[in-house]
Amino acid sequence: MNLSKKLVLDHVVHVSSLERQGELTDALDALLDAYDAARSAAESLRTLRSDLLTVLLSGEHEIPSSYDELRGGGG
């Protein structure tokens, strides 16, 4: 099928009302904000994990034996 002016003009395009477009924009903005917050939190957690592993593996800090008691383990 060839694309023709008649074919294009005969095609109906449905457009939401400006109010509905605004609602969709607000919803998408909220999703993007949530995504950015989650990405930032994930990066902070990766950094924290890396920093903790560095400190623990270097021997700079040790996990106290009382930790097992705090988490409910006996040993």
Per-residue pLDDT reduced to its tens digit, 8-43:
889 899 999 999 999 999 999 999 999 999 999 999
Question: Are 68 and 75 spatial neighbours (Cβ–Cβ below 8 Å)?
Answer: yes
pLDDT confidence of residue 71: 79
Q: What are the phi and psi torsion angles at 59 (to 5°)?
A: 85, 5
- Which letter does DSSP use for residue 55 in this model? H
Q: Which residue has the tokens 């609602």?
A: 23
* CA atoms of 66 and 49, how far apart (whole Å): 21
Q: Is residue 10 part of a domain?
A: no
pLDDT confidence of residue 61: 83
Q: Is residue 2 part of a domain?
A: no
Question: If 0-12 CB within 10 Å is exposed, 13-18 middle and 19+ buried, where does residue 18 land?
Answer: exposed
Q: Is residue 13 part of a domain?
A: no
Q: Is residue 32 part of a domain?
A: yes
Question: Which domain covers residue 29, as residue numbers?
Answer: 19-70
- Looking at the structure of the chain, the number of domains it has is 1
Q: Is residue 39 part of a domain?
A: yes
